[in-house]
């Protein structure tokens, strides 16, 4: 079949959602329940409608796409993933099966404009784990707080460091985020204080969506972990740096990361990204055998961060980097997560950790971009930022560039609202 689609908007060279992509998500029309769809051009293809019309059968006669998320579909496994992708390609290609293209009534029901629907969380998040897998970011943060000679912890070059976050506060792009309250202590203050975070930040990450679970007590190989990953989303792990600095010793981040994590609404499948695999950087220390990769496990994905103050005419691009800057792949993170016998589940979400390139314009957090506030950014229009202010909108974007097409993720956006009013029981 030809590479193009009869959905003409999908054929624009710089469109995020060509026929080569076909990412999965959840959507609803006004007054209706969420159900599963695929992005194609400017449209959402209603997979539940295709099931009802008999053009798509993922579950052997059982409906899986009428659900409010894609977990039931992911649980069917790799054979079903491949079969449905092939069938959707056949239905949408120029010279494929005309059953959808030539049925005007079905086409009107099943193909709806993205700007007319509400997009929801594409997955029911079973668990959320955030890693620290970007070497440049780890080095930058360590340099800020401990100096470059002690930047990396002793274990960093041997294991993917991570912590368990809160699945309950993972939200979809477009959800406003309220500035968190918390306890923080200035370096020169004798006692901690309570109030809104004053050093609110983003973290530019790639999130891996686990599509197949593992068995309690059974480790998995990196190759097995790679096969378990259904796809990827853009992920912004909002961070309250002042709260984090006070609380993180000795057990790591807690409230500073628990208030919100934003993901993009479309899960770009591992199959769509297969052509963009690339090798990890040269290892500075040999990895133990259970973490060694059988082949290229990273992806060549261009990433950007955009910041727009309230009332500003346009956003400023404050960072450009690439997912190939990671030191540990999602497959290595997943294998390490399960090596103790931890049971992984369908719908688990693994954040890569902040992705930063080697140059200052490639850093994936404001902590790095402003070097902990010492070097504020100047945005288009003259506004200055060290950290995020109320009303600021932050947007992550990402795509893998092919020959005449791109595999995009859509936007991962959130606007910061003021902190809630201070409760009566809080004393200054």
Q: Which residues are catalytic?
A: 137
Cα 420 from Cα 295, distance rounded (Å): 48
Residues 377, 318 contacting (CB under 8 angstroms): yes
Determine what percent of the chain falls in helix, strand and coil, rounding each to the nearest 5: 25, 25, 50
Q: C-alpha distances in angstroms, 366 versus 129, 239, 319? A: 22, 10, 10
Residues 333, 131 contacting (CB under 8 angstroms): yes
Residues 263, 223 contacting (CB under 8 angstroms): no
Q: Which tokens hold the place of 249?
A: 């010793």
Cα 377 from Cα 424, distance rounded (Å): 36
Cα 294 from Cα 385, distance rounded (Å): 43
> What are the E-state strand segments in 185-237?
193-196, 200-201, 204-210, 229-236
Q: Which tokens hold the place of 109?
A: 């029901």
Work out whether strand 393-401 and strand 406-408 pair parallel, antiparallel, or are unpaired.
antiparallel
DSSP letter string over 297-336?
-EE--EEEEEEE-TT-SS-EEEEEEEGGGBSS-HHHHHHH
Which residues are CB-neighbours of 40 under 8 A, at least 6 positions away? 5, 7, 10, 17, 19, 22, 92, 111
The DSSP secondary-structure symbol of 168 reads G
Strand, helix or coil at 100?
Answer: coil
Pick left, alpha or beta for residue 155 (phi over 0 → left; psi -120 to 50 → alpha; otherwise beta).
alpha
Residues 23, 409 contacting (CB under 8 angstroms): yes
Dihedral of the alpha carbons of 44, 45, 49, 51, in degrees to the nearest 10 = -140
Question: Max CA-CA distance within the chain?
Answer: 73
């Amino acid at each position: 079949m030809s590479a193009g689609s009869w959905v003409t908007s999908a054929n624009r060279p710089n469109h995020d959602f060509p026929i080569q992509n076909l990412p999965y998500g959840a959507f609803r029309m006004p007054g209706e329940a969420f159900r599963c769809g695929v992005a194609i051009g400017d449209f959402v293809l209603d997979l539940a409608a295709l099931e009802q019309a008999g053009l798509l059968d993922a579950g052997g006669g059982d409906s899986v796409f009428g659900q409010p998320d894609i977990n039931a579909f992911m649980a069917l496994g790799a054979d079903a993933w491949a079969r449905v992708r092939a069938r959707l390609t056949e239905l949408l290609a120029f010279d494929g099966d005309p059953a959808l293209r030539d049925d005007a009534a079905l086409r009107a029901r099943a193909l709806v404009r993205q700007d007319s629907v509400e997009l929801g969380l594409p997955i029911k998040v079973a668990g959320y784990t955030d890693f620290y897998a970007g070497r440049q970011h780890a080095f930058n943060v360590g340099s800020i707080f401990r100096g470059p000679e002690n930047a990396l912890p002793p274990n960093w070059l041997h294991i993917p460091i991570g912590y368990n976050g809160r699945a309950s506060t993972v939200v979809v792009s477009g959800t406003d985020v309220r500035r968190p309250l918390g306890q923080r202590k200035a370096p020169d203050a004798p006692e901690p204080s309570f109030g809104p975070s004053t050093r609110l930040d983003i973290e530019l990450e790639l999130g891996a969506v686990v599509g197949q679970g593992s068995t309690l007590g059974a480790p998995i190989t990196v190759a097995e972990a790679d096969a378990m990953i259904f796809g990827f989303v853009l992920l912004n792990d909002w961070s309250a740096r002042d709260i984090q600095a006070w609380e993180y010793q000795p057990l790591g981040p807690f409230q500073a990361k628990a208030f919100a994590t934003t993901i993009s609404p479309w899960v770009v499948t591992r199959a769509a990204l297969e052509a963009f695999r690339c090798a990890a950087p040269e290892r500075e220390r040999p990895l133990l055998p259970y973490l060694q990769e059988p082949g290229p496990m990273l992806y060549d994905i261009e990433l950007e961060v955009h910041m727009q103050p309230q009332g500003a005419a346009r956003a400023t691009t404050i960072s450009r980097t690439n997912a190939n800057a990671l030191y540990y792949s999602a497959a290595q993170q997943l294998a390490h997560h399960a090596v103790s016998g931890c049971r992984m589940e369908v719908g688990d979400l693994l954040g890569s950790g902040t992705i930063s390139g080697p140059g200052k314009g490639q850093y994936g957090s404001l902590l790095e971009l402003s070097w902990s506030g010492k070097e504020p950014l100047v945005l288009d229009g003259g506004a200055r930022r060290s950290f995020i202010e109320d009303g600021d909108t932050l947007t992550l974007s990402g795509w893998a560039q092919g020959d005449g097409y791109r595999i995009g993720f859509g936007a991962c956006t959130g606007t910061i609202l003021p902190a809630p009013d201070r409760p009566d029981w809080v004393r200054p």
